[in-house]
Structure 1
Amino acid sequence: MPRRHIRVTGAPEAPLRAALTALRTELGVPESFPPAAQADAERGAKAPVLPATDATDIPFLTIDPPTSTDLDQAMHLARRPGGGFRVRYAIADVAAFVVPHGPLDTETHRRVTTLYFPDGKTPLHPPTLSEDAASLLPGRTRPAALWTIDLDADGRTVAVDVHRALVRSRAKLDYEGVQRQLDSGTAEEPLALLKDIGEARERLEVERGGISLNVPEQEIVEVERDHAYTLTYRAPLPAEGWNAQISLLTGMAAAELMLAYGTGVLRTLPAAPDDGGPPGRAKPRLGEVGRLRRTAQALRIDWPHHVSYAALIRSLDPRRPHHAAFLQECTTLLRGAGYTVFRDGDLPPITTHSAVAAPYAHCTAPLRRLADRYAAELCLAAVAEQPPPDWVLAALDALPKEMAEGGRRAGAVERGCLDIVEAALLKDRVGEVFEGCVVDVEERKPTVGTVQLESPAVVARIEDADGTPLPLGERLRVRLTRADLGAAGVRFAPA
């Protein structure tokens, strides 16, 4: 599920960071790992369970934000003799370091996922592992689950294998540098193929009716030298989308392996009918279409009735502010996603993720997401035609609830961070009038809703104190009535 990411680039220090510290306390975010869990991580880092297969001759590379050190994935792309492509995707083997039912394993089931704040993160695993011993850092030999996925010339999967192996990344690349190489034609073939494979997979995504939301990143930028700041949207680069297609490809392959195996954990999202597109394709929830159409109209986005939701999303340019605003609103449609466990061939009624428009599993980010470690183990067992490990089966049934609770906590962190960052930037502008669009209205209390400003890139609560229902999807001049770094956050009223 795409989330709103916030990147702080020198925002006012003291008030912002104090409020973020208070948010951590309020949500019970742990400051550190228990001593027993930390000691367990250090033991694992010194003596991991290493595989017999050596694949360190393959020149893997990683593509991540430049400051990232918790590197889950490394790839090597090649052409296949006779046509098509071979994708090798190495995923950090967390199970090589974590003892089942040990102190660290117990702590990861409590944390579930890495939590991201504008001023740092609270990791799922201690940095000893997540940013060092288990991370696929360049020049370091690491244990990994090595996926080999063969594609035909159109990018369709023709063969899948996964096994444990030692790997070594040769280079740590970032998205902007990769994009420059691809645009200038200076990328060597393993990297140049990212565009070819990524675009082929994007065409197949369109064909099956899937949707990839290019959700912009909200970024605080300095607009003047006297420490004035604003909140803007940063559009994702094409290379980020192509890189995401490799991860989606692997998640789809993992889902198919587990379905054939009869035991697994899927990421599912039910579909609902709407007013565009054939049955079974990715669609917004029933009742959301009208709201989204009114929002699109207010944001001056042309959405003809014969155009499906999926087709509209693909036509948007996240570099345009009003398109970015609409894409942010579309993330609400993915909130029904969850984890579905099945075993012993008893397949669940829903096996697909409607936005992917195919069966799908989370398996490519085990350093940052608990469920991925279990999906990896089940896929390895499926290919080896072996029973699942006992520790996997013992934890499987509780996993959906644990991941749901972790998702709610991550959502609370996201909402709290957004409120704090927006309040920090607007605290000196109370009383000012802004142009906005009402993007949501509470069903039971139509005088309360959500407004999205044209500039800065703020989404906040709005309430009409006079008792007039808010005009959903309409443009509106709004007045900032409160900007509190505490619990109240940012509030607007119709001007």
Structure 2
Amino acid sequence: MPHRHLRVTGAAQAPLGAVLRDLRAQLDVPERFPADVLAEAERVAADPPRLPDRDETAIPFFTVDPPTSTDLDQAMHLSRRHGGGYRVRYAIADVAAFVTPGGPLDAEAHRRVTTLYFPDERVPLHPTELSEGAASLLPDQTRPAVLWTIDLDADGRTETTDVVRALVRSRAKLDYDGVQKAVDAGTAEEPVALLKDIGRLREALEVERGGISLNVPEQEIVARDGTYALDYRAPLPADGWNAQISLLTGMAAAGLMLACGTGILRTLPAAPDGAVGRLRRTATALGIDWPHHVPYARLVRSLDPRQPHHAAFLQECTTLLRGAGYTAFDGGDTPPLATHAAVAAPYAHCTAPLRRLVDRYASELCLAACAGQDPPDWVRAALPRLPSEMAEGTRRAGTVERECVDIVEAAVMKHRIGETFDAVVVDVKENEPTVGTVQLTDRAVVARVEAGYRDEGQAGRRAEGEGEGQGEGEGGTAGGVGVIGTAAAQLPLGERLRVRLTQADPGRAKVLFVPA
């Protein structure tokens, strides 16, 4: 099944707890923190061992996150510069202020690598005393931070970058919907209103350098009244503007690390010709006009994720992101692959240290680079193994996401077995064209479809003569897609298809459709 952006909203309590607990056990997810880790977290939360001398609490920072989030990694303040241009101040939670290298907290973070999100709970990278408490940039709380100050010219291009440790204090916890409404209504105060101005300038620079941001609709797992439902959420412009601030910082971090000769980058090679060719065939099947003279990035920017066929194509575009990884380097040698193909520039993960292990190390490398100092020994010692640790953690997070959506889809659909639905075929296996993926048109369900799947009950009815002598071939259906028989036709990529639900059992059988 294709990768899907996943967001979990609503109350945590719902009746799938046992199934989700079984999933965590199967995946060996480390739910509970060892006693020594909790003890260290409680101790440093009460009395952080390393607080900065610099005080920037007078700056009115704000955060932009989903409404229920409490693990807040980033806070920003945006302003105009005298003489033109902009100043971006971006405070990143200073996890290293609390975590002693080689201690229990550090070892456990290397075991977990990333925060994992399940519908019923979050399995954090760090104990909640830190990730949702002492280290989180919660409003009206003084916190240690890694403070980025990036000065931009009037076109949004980076002129100078500085990174220091400082105490900061967020004034407001904002969410995407609220920011969008305030900006659209003209009621946003300037530091928030500038998010649109700077975000759009950075988006224009992304176009100029050939980068691309995929606005793939998110599939939301929503807890309502003791049960789960699935919805789609198309990204708002504010999502994109906020992401541009993070991208700006990640590109600045990569530049600092490359300049000093030690670092860890998030890299992605260019997609092979075969993958691009397959994507062109998918565009044709979905009715999307992609002239050969139009670059991929320009085509993607022209799409509307609220339109089903465009959303399906954007989902397929994520296949070009396969191969992303982490590249560590030291000793002044630039790695052979130093760019991220989608960003179209060198790039580093550095803005989410509460939820991702590598970002704590990137912060330390950038602090050292700006100070003209060598990176700490504990950072250099960890660099060689970080790429493989991050690869394993990212793989596990992807598995969790896919399995959780499959489970919730099965729960939502389990009482509808045997019913038929309108759907669009959004993916077909390249070497097995009778197997693919459909997206239902009236609900946020994306699941497997098998044109050659043998439904025993349906087969029995066919044997009694229901499907014979009707001019469509043995076991045929309208559109020429065979369900039963030896010559099942390939699935019609991009076309509407009436499908029948044959299985859905959370924790046992994933959702499966056959052409009706």
State TM-score, norm by structure 1: 0.92
- Secondary structure of 1:166's aligned partner: strand
Shift of 1:444: 5.0
Cα shift readout 1:407-451 (whole Å, capped 9, x = no counterpart): 110011011011011111111111223333444444554443333
Match of 1:246?
A: 245
Question: Aligned in 2, Cα 1:442/1:296: closer, same or farther, shift over 3 Å?
Answer: closer
Alpha-carbon distance in 2 for matches of 1:170, 1:231? 33
Aligned with residue 357 of structure 2, among 357, 363, 370:
370
Aligned 8 A contact 2:312 2:426 in 1: no
Alpha-carbon distance in 2 for matches of 1:462, 1:153? 51
Shift of 1:45: 1.2
Question: Aligned in 2, Cα 1:39/1:230: closer, same or farther, shift over 3 Å?
Answer: closer
- Residues 1:64 and 2:65 aligned together: yes
Letter aligned with residue 503 of structure 2: R
Aligned with residue 471 of structure 1, among 491, 495, 498:
491
Mark the structure with the bigger radius of gyration.
2
- Secondary structure of 2:443's aligned partner: coil
Alpha-carbon distance in 1 for matches of 2:491, 2:174? 46
Aligned with residue 507 of structure 2, among 472, 475, 486:
486
Quote the RMSD (CA, aligned, Å): 2.2
Shift of 1:65: 1.0
Shift of 1:57: 1.3
Aligned 8 A contact 2:13 2:223 in 1: no
Match of 1:426?
A: 413
Aligned 8 A contact 1:36 1:103 in 2: yes
- Secondary structure of 2:332's aligned partner: coil
Alpha-carbon distance in 2 for matches of 1:269, 1:455? 36
Alpha-carbon distance in 2 for matches of 1:365, 1:131? 13
Letter aligned with residue 39 of structure 1: A
Match of 2:80?
A: 79
Cα shift readout 1:184-209 (whole Å, capped 9, x = no counterpart): 11111111111100000000001111
Match of 2:441?
A: 454
- Secondary structure of 1:58's aligned partner: coil
Letter aligned with residue 493 of structure 1: V
Structure 1 residue runs of 5 or longer lacking an equivalent are: 273-284
Equivalent pairs, count: 479
Question: Aligned in 2, Cα 1:367/1:287: closer, same or farther, shift over 3 Å?
Answer: same
Match of 1:280?
A: none
- Residues 1:329 and 2:316 aligned together: yes
Alpha-carbon distance in 1 for matches of 2:424, 2:293? 24
Question: Aligned in 2, Cα 1:76/1:458: closer, same or farther, shift over 3 Å?
Answer: same
- Structure-to-structure mapping, 1:285-324, within 5 angstroms: 285-324=272-311
- Structure-to-structure mapping, 1:43-122, within 5 angstroms: 43-48=43-48, 49-122=50-123
Question: Aligned in 2, Cα 1:44/1:11: closer, same or farther, shift over 3 Å?
Answer: closer
Aligned 8 A contact 2:230 2:444 in 1: yes
Letter aligned with residue 478 of structure 1: V
Structure 2 residue runs of 5 or longer lacking an equivalent are: 454-484
- Residues 1:26 and 2:26 aligned together: yes
- Secondary structure of 1:398's aligned partner: helix
Cα shift readout 1:352-399 (whole Å, capped 9, x = no counterpart): 000000000000000000000001100001111111101101111000
Shift of 1:472: 6.1
Cα shift readout 1:102-160 (whole Å, capped 9, x = no counterpart): 01100000000000112221000000001110011111111111000000000000100
- Secondary structure of 2:164's aligned partner: strand
Question: Aligned in 2, Cα 1:437/1:293: closer, same or farther, shift over 3 Å?
Answer: farther
- Secondary structure of 1:19's aligned partner: helix
Alpha-carbon distance in 2 for matches of 1:160, 1:304? 40
Question: Aligned in 2, Cα 1:472/1:210: closer, same or farther, shift over 3 Å?
Answer: farther
Question: Aligned in 2, Cα 1:222/1:268: closer, same or farther, shift over 3 Å?
Answer: closer
Once structures 1 and 2 are overlaid, which stretch shifts more, 435-444 or 346-355? 435-444
Alpha-carbon distance in 2 for matches of 1:305, 1:477? 33
Shift of 1:326: 2.5
Question: Aligned in 2, Cα 1:229/1:140: closer, same or farther, shift over 3 Å?
Answer: closer
Shift of 1:94: 0.3
Match of 1:39?
A: 39
Question: Aligned in 2, Cα 1:222/1:168: closer, same or farther, shift over 3 Å?
Answer: closer
Letter aligned with residue 383 of structure 1: C
